[in-house]
Chains A and B, each alone.
Chain A
Amino acid sequence: MDIKLWTLHLLKVLFPPQVLLPDIVAIDIGLTVATIVIGAYLTKTRKWGWLWHEWLTTVDHKKIGIMYLIAALIMLFRGGVDALMIRSQLIAPNAHFMGAQQYDEVFTTHGTVMIFFMAMPMIFALFNATIPLMIGARDVAFPRLNAISFWLFAFGAILLNISFSIGGSPSAGWMSYPPYSELLYNPGVGENYFLLSLQIAGIGTIATGINFLVTILRMRAPGMSLSKMPIFVWASLITSSLVLFAFPPLTVALGLTMLDRVFGASFFTLGHQGMPMMYVNLFWIFGHPEVYILVMPAFGVFSEVVPTFSRKALFGYEAMVGSLLAISFLSYGTWVHHFFEMGAGPTVNVFFGLSTMLIAIPTGVKMFNWIFTMWGGRIRLTVPMLWQLAFIPTFVVGGATGIMLAAVPGDYQYHNSYFLIAHFHNVILGGTVFGVLSGMYYWWPKMFGWNLNQRQGTWAFALFVGGFWLTFMPQYFLGFEGMTRRMATYPAGLGWTALNVWSTVGAFVMGAGFVVMVYNILWSRMHPDWDTTGDPWDGRTLEWSLPSPAPEYNFARIPVVRSRDEWWSMKQEGRTDEVKTSEATVRPIHMPRNTPMPIMLAAAFFVGAIGLIFGWFWMAILGGVGVVAALAYGSFADYSEIEIDAKKVLKTEAQLGRVES
């Protein structure tokens, strides 16, 4: 009865006790039902072909941007549910809402999902949706690689998200320090899921970094010299360069841990003179630039939103660019502030403490410049602008507490306490999340062709921001009361309860804000307010010179750029006809052809990763062969293109009313 034993064993590996908790089983059933319903719907309406040809194999940056956005919103929901579970557990002392093991899994997934699978794709959604339009290009430099990036991210996200129902979730925290994450202390497959999902998504992220760096450096429209680029493009360029050099150390840190766990090496182990601190070091060489990767695109968004809704030029363009460069440069040299407590000695700590503080200068320059941009303008309180307005007072608090953390002896008391938790939610939500949401509302009409309802958007905004303050301000004080992070629960009598109650209430208010936001999107989809002008906000940069959504090839005629806010100048100087095509100037356009190679490559990575996670080496090899096969196929297929002939271009443009008579 070999087969039977083997099957039993397999079932036990795939479904260990911790994935058989009633709530997880309920979620599993829900997901299965949802999958079946969606599948049935697609079959009934015969939309499989549409899905495959229009989306799964697409290399169009605009569609990839939309897919990133949808995935990011789903992940915000997932991470948000985790957050609400955390807060529910912490509302009262000695709570048993979840067991300790499950709590550990929940905060680990919360952190990992939010950083890697919510914030990063949200940023890439904005990059994809806007960068080529803003620089006057027809696509990114490497469209196929762009699709590969997306699918690697998507399969990485799937990998992390199936862990809770198959085999068990990671539970070592989002930075997963060894030796706790080593086999000796963490024998399940959860940690392997963590390592491999981040590794796969990380490869995709590096590829995105390369792609946008080259796109921005090489594909700008004629005349758009570096000093005429919109600030969001600058922010994206610098973010891409940070990605390039921050992710390889993460790749190494994760890879070495995997070698320890799966192949018996001794890098960070307790025995054999392993050195766990080296992991910590490598992780933060990545981790600190990472937090600026998260926030710089938001800075870029704000630098577009503020001038648009103040109807005024950006204050101090050069200083804005210079400060972005300075922040990115400095951010490589501050990572030790995450482990001042490791005993590296006062000189090391002082060096990194001071380098951290220096970042306040360029950041402060930006804060003041945004305010000065509004000075002498006319501020319209649209939803994107509201998010920006909430950002300034929020982020300054988070940044200021960052400076407190950088004061080394102070950090000896704050480290790993709720003060730290409050700091980083303060900057991540106040900076990154407010920023990407601002950007989402700002570019939504450009991406989809219809506007989001403003009144509902304002409600979502108010609930989210109000809930934010209520959630995270008490946590600073919890830190001073000695509450450390990652406590599955806490005893009564330490005075922690009252503040925790406030914090939990706030989290649910934020949850309500998120629900309103989703309602806002669905309602606006059902009652579309079409954007027929292509320029709903009276914008300043080139993307607003295009119809919403932009045609497949973006620009029928590549504009020649003369000034910083080119579209604004065109409107001011009455040159708007420059974006129109005519029979005389129209040319056939070459666009890259859709290809199934990216999704197949990513699927092969996925299969290989499953093999490594469960230690089924035949499967890992199978995945490896798949990867090589997909790459070889891609190499021989080269970059195939389709030609959109001039007549068709002219027809499309005529329908959009963009042909000169």
Chain B
Amino acid sequence: MDHEDRQPHRIPTGHGDEVELAIFSPKMHQTHFPSLQITGYLLSIILTLLAFGMVAYHWMPMASLIPVILILAFIQAGLQLGIFMHLREGRGTTWQIPVLALAVSIGLGIVGFSIWIMMFKSGVS
């Protein structure tokens, strides 16, 4: 909240994480035409329709259908994150990446483990 901090071009010295955690340094992108956005949009429409088609028109055997549409969903989520959410933008260290990774793994863990635990054992006569 220092005065010097309010002025652009005079970013103060960092605390040193930038060196230790170089993999999390930010990337900015700026283009003259929103081509990236348009590509993302088209891709997401295609992926959605693809998944829908697989289910509606039975393009796949049942057993592999669910994993495949789940994979498609993850790809689409990645697109949203990378293209629309500018995941790698930040200042200093892009802390959102590790925090998000932790959240995703915990979210998936909750779903996966809950299914496993709630199956119960069998063994009643």
Contacts and interface: CB of A to CB of B under 8 A. Distances in A.
Given A281-B117, A345-B120, A224 B15 contact: yes
Interface string A125-148: 000000000000011000000000
Given A222-B12, A223-B15, A343 B121 contact: yes
B99 interface: yes
B101 to A, nearest CB: 12
A244 B103 CA distance: 9
Interface in B75-98: 92-93, 95
Interface residues of B, number: 31
B114 interface: yes
Interface in A555-606: 558, 561, 587-592
Contacts of B93: 217
Contacts of B106: 245, 332
B15 A558 contact: no
Nearest to A352: B117
Interface in A101-126: none
A560 to B, nearest CB: 8
Contacts of A348: 116-117
Interface string B111-125: 001101111110000
Contact residue range for chain A? 35 or more
A225 B17 contact: yes
Contacts of A138: 1-2
A591 B3 CA distance: 11
B15 A278 contact: no
A332 B16 contact: no
Interface in A24-80: none
A241 B121 contact: no
A277 B1 contact: no
Given A589-B1, A641-B1, A285 B121 contact: no
B114 A281 contact: yes
B113 to A, nearest CB: 8
Interface in A208-257: 213, 217-218, 220-228, 241, 244-245, 249
Contact of B110 (A217, A220, A241, A285): A285
B53 interface: no
Given A222-B12, A225-B15, A589-B1, A241 B102 contact: yes
B2 A587 contact: yes
Nearest to A224: B15
Given A278-B118, A281-B118, A343-B121, A222 B4 contact: no
A590 B17 CA distance: 26
A336 B117 contact: yes
A313 interface: no
Q: What DSSP secondary structure best describes chain A's contact surface? A: mixed
A592 B20 CA distance: 32
A226 B92 CA distance: 13
Contacts of A227: 20
A222 B15 contact: yes
A245 B102 contact: yes
A218 B20 CA distance: 15
A3 interface: no
A271 interface: no
Contacts of B110: 249, 285
Interface in B1-21: 1-4, 6, 12-17, 19-21
Contacts of A346: 121
Interface of B: 1-4, 6, 12-17, 19-21, 92-93, 95, 99, 102-103, 106, 109-110, 113-114, 116-121
Q: Which 7 A-B pairs have the closest CB atoms?
A: A225-B16, A345-B121, A220-B15, A222-B13, A590-B1, A245-B106, A224-B15
Interface of A: 138-139, 213, 217-218, 220-228, 241, 244-245, 249, 275, 277-278, 281, 285, 332-333, 336, 342-346, 348, 558, 561, 587-592, 641
30 contacts: A138-B1, A213-B99, A217-B93, A217-B95, A221-B15, A222-B15, A223-B13, A223-B15, A225-B19, A226-B17, A226-B21, A241-B99, A241-B102, A244-B99, A244-B103, A245-B103, A278-B114, A278-B118, A281-B114, A281-B118, A336-B117, A344-B117, A344-B118, A345-B120, A346-B121, A587-B3, A587-B4, A590-B3, A591-B1, A641-B1
